[in-house]
């Protein structure tokens, strides 16, 4: 796997033009050289009439380097896609369509918005594998806003103006591994047991600050540390740090979350967190790049230019 750039300058150098981006895509898909997705043939030639498209010498199928990626039907240059994905993958706080538009000099807000939406679609529910081993779990309430109001809510017992979130953090080697966040309607035992069922693998141990609620599952061991809310951050340091980062991020990036999109925001936060040390993986995920180790997608097979 080719090294991923560690800085803007390296990125600019590595992906300086369309040909460089196309070569990267080809290398990601065919590290050992071209393989026809239709017949498995290894001989092909680049078409002069269609950019970055290879025609199979055996069956005649034409395959674009964009096929099977998020860039497939886009009219935008590869360099624009690559820059947008790089900015989105490396900005720890995320980047808005307005920022993408101005930084990449795009003509319209709509173009920028569509570009961001397509890249961000990789972040929606990206992590379906359940957590395992030791898992810290807790719940929190975060303020949401409506229209241009300042964040509603505030301190107190009422959940009005707040959205409820359940969090789970895998603890490995004394530190946080992967996380999951789920928007929930209430803190009832049924709801929390449902979160455990969906996010934690059987055989795991969950660590919480409650006696009840999380203990409903027979397949997951429960290790409660009930020591009062003031000290919860000591018993459950990682899930509390995640909540703290989430709240800071929510206020900083979007000036407060909107309830309608809460789970999408949570998915984006989880995507960034779980790939915080693997920017290259984040970059590839955003562009929808399917490496040769993964199965060929249906999308790739039905791509129009693939019909030879
Ligand atoms: Zn072929």
pLDDT in tens, 14-69: 999 999 999 999 988 888 999 998 999 999 999 988 889 999 999 999 999 988 88
Ion ligand 1 — residues with CB < 5 Å: 36, 38-39, 41, 56, 58-59, 61
Residue-wise pLDDT tens digits, 93-119: 778 889 999 999 999 999 998 898 888
Gap from CA of 292 to ligand 1 centroid (Å): 16
* Cα distance between residue 220 and residue 201, in whole Å: 7
Taking only the tens place, the pLDDT of each residue in 252-271 is: 766 666 677 788 888 888 99
At 222, the pLDDT band (50, 70, 90 cuts) reads confident
Cβ-contact 222, 203 below 8 angstroms? no
pTM given for the model: 0.77
Q: What separation in Å is there between the alpha carbon of 304 and the centre of ligand 1?
A: 15
């Amino acid at each position: 796997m080719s090294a991923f750039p560690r800085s803007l300058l390296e990125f600019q150098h590595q992906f300086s033009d369309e040909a460089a981006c196309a070569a990267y895509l080809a290398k990601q898909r065919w590290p050992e050289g071209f393989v026809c997705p239709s017949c498995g043939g290894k001989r092909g030639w680049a078409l002069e009439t269609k950019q970055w498209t290879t025609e199979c010498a055996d069956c005649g199928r034409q395959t674009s380097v964009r096929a099977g990626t998020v860039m497939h039907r886009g009219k935008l240059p590869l360099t624009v896609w690559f820059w947008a994905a790089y900015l989105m993958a490396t900005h720890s706080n995320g980047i808005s369509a307005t920022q993408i538009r101005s930084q990449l000099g795009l003509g319209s807000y709509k173009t920028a918005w569509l570009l961001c939406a397509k890249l961000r679609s990789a972040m929606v529910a990206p992590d379906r594998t359940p957590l395992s081993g030791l898992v810290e779990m807790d719940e929190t309430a975060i303020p949401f806003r409506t229209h241009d109001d300042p964040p509603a809510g505030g301190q107190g017992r009422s959940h009005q103006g707040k959205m409820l979130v359940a969090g789970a953090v895998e603890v490995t080697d004394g530190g946080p591994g992967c996380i999951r966040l789920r928007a929930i309607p209430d803190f009832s035992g049924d709801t929390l047991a449902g979160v455990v069922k969906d996010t934690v693998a059987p055989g795991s141990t969950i660590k919480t600050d409650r006696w009840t609620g999380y203990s409903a599952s027979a397949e997951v061991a429960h290790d409660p540390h009930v020591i009062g809310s003031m000290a919860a951050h000591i018993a459950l340091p990682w899930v509390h740090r995640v909540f703290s980062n989430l709240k800071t991020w929510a206020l900083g990036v979007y000036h407060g979350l909107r309830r309608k999109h809460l789970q999408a925001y949570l998915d984006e936060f989880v995507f960034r967190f779980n790939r915080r040390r693997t920017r290259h993986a984040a970059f590839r995920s955003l562009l929808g790049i399917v490496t040769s180790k993964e199965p060929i997608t249906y999308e790739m097979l039905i791509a129009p230019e693939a019909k030879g």
